[in-house]
Amino acid sequence: MYDFIGKRVRVHLYNRQGISVGMVEGRVADVARGVEVAEGMKKDLAYVVDIKTDDPETPYRNSSGEESESWFALQDLEVITDDGPRLFSN
């Protein structure tokens, strides 16, 4: 899990109904294991910084209003490599 730190990642974003709404890219700065995200539901999370969106005029904002950084579930991350095909796409 800690080998994610420092990696460039693509984060697949979903709404509350589980429908894909897009993606952003950034760099993993930290990870946390077994964080309770809802009552009885724990997930492994990554703190992603330097988040870039498709529109440079509209920065990514997390639910606290912070720009260009947020926590995301590891299951929603795709490590960006320059030497291979994408792992999956929605």
pLDDT tens, 62-88?
Answer: 889 999 999 999 999 999 987 655 555
Give the span between the Cα atoms of 49 and 90, in whole angstroms: 22
Record the pTM.
0.84
- Below-50 pLDDT ranges, the chain: 90
Please give the pLDDT value at position 78: 93
Please give the pLDDT value at position 16: 83
Please give the pLDDT value at position 31: 97
Please give the pLDDT value at position 90: 46
